[in-house]
A and B are shown apart, each in its own frame.
Chain A
């Protein structure tokens, strides 16, 4: 079994194998340390086993395969394939790190990476600020709170491809509602999805619209776990609203916010459906982020370029892992034991 996703999966899989063996009687010297570990941990391992197996097979193997393809020149014309009854063997060859050198020295990867970073940072920061503001308002006693809350969570409850379709409908150049409203106000229509700059603006707006509910709900949960005594004490001490927010709310939300920022950065960086369904990366390649471009390499161009697609995919993964490692290091130096 090709499990190399990370140390632990490999280790856990090892443990499984060993367990199978030690249950049988044939193993000459029974390693007693292992048997002891087994008798203490078998239920924990049993409980996580389904996840380990599924992730190992469905994620681990494709990952290894992807890394391997990125070191070859595989494309549609030279991979193993069947035409009718004839089976053609694979003829692609190993090329070492050439694909990586090409990607990292060419303009296309770096240009796409630049926009992907702008996209990720602006989406996450806008979503976080809006989510924080709305969560703080909803956490007060206010009439109709549950109605507001339902309305605000709604974008999360609608399947992504439906709401993206709704937005395409609103953005439509000639007949879209947004341009109708603008022309009603005597302003020229905006080519929302056909102009590179407006298209960038449009995709970010849709992603923020989709992302705010998650952020808001997570932060609202965090707010409700801050003891109200802290606010009372601060008010007794004459702290202003801003001071209370700055010194009680923000630190109190820290565990929640660090997690949601990490998760939403990862999700936004790889946000395939929004870009793909809204603009297909266009106009030109203006809104193409790394993951949609990688998809395009292996599904939309001809001949389909599996090697380059895998290379970009591996680079995406490396970048995100670097980010997570740095993020965690920074948090730790600031005293979080996450």
Chain B
């Protein structure tokens, strides 16, 4: 391994133009860009297509003309003729609460699992993993019964609690990985300065964990915002529906009319995209448990 490269290096130096480390041939660059462009188009196109369709009058909804008589009639109709705004508000409240509580609970759990050795820790990690294996289909009827027993059906709180059980296990895992990358010396210095374990966590560690928290927030929000099965089972009555449930009524009501549906889709995607914009800077660092130094 130590002596081998000499002849090959000589050989390749003769054959190829000398390049700096990390430099590419123009052909390779073109190839990479082409790959990325094709992939990006596939990723963006379905979403873009819905956006374009929502701006077209109903008559042209399914034509392939990209821009034809651009209009906002789908949007105004949606807001005036349906309870869309109410559903939107309900979803916002539920997803917001899920995010705040989810971030807090996963952070404390992740921190405890990362820093302390305590009886039940291994089991807790396994439980968090196993919880993700539970199929909706098995849980939905019993959870429905519990919620109706607690009087939480048709209440935002019922859905928030349910969503927490979906989002928190994964988020706690992720936060544990993230806290593992923050040096323990910081905790120790906090204790030397007389902070309680909670004080250390709250004042020293949480501020350093912002990327991880951003990812957790993103994940909790997206989970709550886009959930369909529980939302349609637990919430009834026009004024209590969330977007997922509301939209289903809407499909029946409008049948094959794509216009209002696409407009609703665009409006639903906006808050998710905003949260995403806020979090995306941190996504890569937050998700990798080794990339960040304290």
Where the two chains meet, the residues of A that have a C-beta atom closer than 8 Å to any C-beta of B are 5-9, 11-12, 15, 37, 40-41, 43-45, 47-48, 50-52, 54-55, 57-59, 61-63, 65-66, 130, 133-134, 137-138, 140-143, 148-163, 165-167, 169-170, 172, 175-177, 180, 209, 212-213, 217-218, 220-222, 224-225, 232, 235-238, 255-256, 263, 266-267, 270, 272-273, 276-277, 290-292, 294-295, 297-298, 306, 309-310, 312-314, 316-317, 320-321, 324
Pair A310/B138 contact, Cβ less than 8 Å: yes
Interface residues of B in 99-151 (CB under 8 A from A): 105-106, 108-109, 111-113, 115-116, 118-124, 126-143, 145-146
Pair A62/B138 contact, Cβ less than 8 Å: yes
Pair A151/B43 contact, Cβ less than 8 Å: yes
| Contact of B123 (CB < 8 Å), options: A7, A148, A154 | A7
Pair B46/A170 contact, Cβ less than 8 Å: yes
Chain A residues positioned under 8 Å from B36 (CB to CB): 134, 137-138, 142, 148, 152
Q: How far is the CA of A153 from the CA of B44 in the complex (A)?
A: 9
Instruction: Please give the distance in Å from A222's CB to the nearest CB on chain B.
Output: 6
Q: How far is the CA of A167 from the CA of B50 in the complex (A)?
A: 9
| Contact of B32 (CB < 8 Å), options: A47, A140, A172 | A140
Instruction: Please give the distance in Å from A168's CB to the nearest CB on chain B.
Output: 10
Chain A residues positioned under 8 Å from B237 (CB to CB): none
> Which chain B residue has the least Cβ–Cβ distance from A157?
B276
Q: How far is the CA of A278 from the CA of B1 in the complex (A)?
A: 54
> Which chain B residue has the least Cβ–Cβ distance from A241?
B28
Q: How far is the CA of A152 from the CA of B129 in the complex (A)?
A: 28
B22 within 8 A of A: yes
Instruction: Please give the distance in Å from A201's CB to the nearest CB on chain B.
Output: 15
Q: Which of B68-76, B78-86, B182-190, B281-289 lies at the interface with chain A?
A: B281-289
B164 within 8 A of A: yes
Pair A166/B105 contact, Cβ less than 8 Å: no
- Central interface residue in A172, A217, A232, by most chain B CB within 10 Å: A217
Instruction: Please give the distance in Å from A65's CB to the nearest CB on chain B.
Output: 4
- Central interface residue in A63, A137, A169, by most chain B CB within 10 Å: A169
Q: A51-B105, A221-B288 are in contact. Are A159 and B222 (CB under 8 A)?
A: yes
> Which chain A residue has the least Cβ–Cβ distance from B124?
A8
Pair B123/A270 contact, Cβ less than 8 Å: no
| Contact of B53 (CB < 8 Å), options: A51, A152, A169, A292 | A169
Pair A222/B288 contact, Cβ less than 8 Å: yes
Q: A50-B108, A59-B165, A236-B5 are in contact. Are A317 and B134 (CB under 8 A)?
A: yes
Pair B137/A8 contact, Cβ less than 8 Å: no
> Which chain B residue has the least Cβ–Cβ distance from A166?
B46
| Contact of A294 (CB < 8 Å), options: B8, B135, B276 | B135
Category for how many chain B residues contact A? 35 or more
Chain B residues positioned under 8 Å from A232 (CB to CB): 21
Pair A160/B5 contact, Cβ less than 8 Å: no
Q: How far is the CA of A148 from the CA of B49 in the complex (A)?
A: 19
B197 within 8 A of A: yes
Instruction: Please give the distance in Å from B73's CB to the nearest CB on chain A.
Output: 19
Pair B124/A12 contact, Cβ less than 8 Å: yes
Q: How far is the CA of A152 from the CA of B285 in the complex (A)?
A: 17
Q: How far is the CA of A25 from the CA of B206 in the complex (A)?
A: 37
Chain B residues positioned under 8 Å from A263 (CB to CB): 132, 170
| Contact of A15 (CB < 8 Å), options: B115, B116, B119, B288 | B119
Pair B265/A41 contact, Cβ less than 8 Å: no
Q: How far is the CA of A44 from the CA of B286 in the complex (A)?
A: 23
Pair A58/B123 contact, Cβ less than 8 Å: no
| Contact of A6 (CB < 8 Å), options: B127, B136, B269 | B127
Chain B residues positioned under 8 Å from A238 (CB to CB): 4-5, 8-9
> Which chain B residue has the least Cβ–Cβ distance from A68?
B142
B280 within 8 A of A: yes
Pair B143/A52 contact, Cβ less than 8 Å: no
Instruction: Please give the distance in Å from A34's CB to the nearest CB on chain B.
Output: 10
Chain A residues positioned under 8 Å from B57 (CB to CB): none
Pair A6/B46 contact, Cβ less than 8 Å: no
Pair A309/B283 contact, Cβ less than 8 Å: no
Chain A residues positioned under 8 Å from B130 (CB to CB): 5-6, 321, 324
Q: A47-B112, A66-B142, A237-B1 are in contact. Are A266 and B133 (CB under 8 A)?
A: yes
Instruction: Please give the distance in Å from B153's CB to the nearest CB on chain A.
Output: 14
Chain A residues positioned under 8 Å from B119 (CB to CB): 11, 15, 37, 41
Q: How far is the CA of A207 from the CA of B281 in the complex (A)?
A: 25
| Contact of B290 (CB < 8 Å), options: A130, A222, A290, A316 | A222
Q: A159-B226, A169-B258, A224-B284 are in contact. Are A320 and B46 (CB under 8 A)?
A: no
Pair A221/B285 contact, Cβ less than 8 Å: yes
Q: How far is the CA of A172 from the CA of B62 in the complex (A)?
A: 10
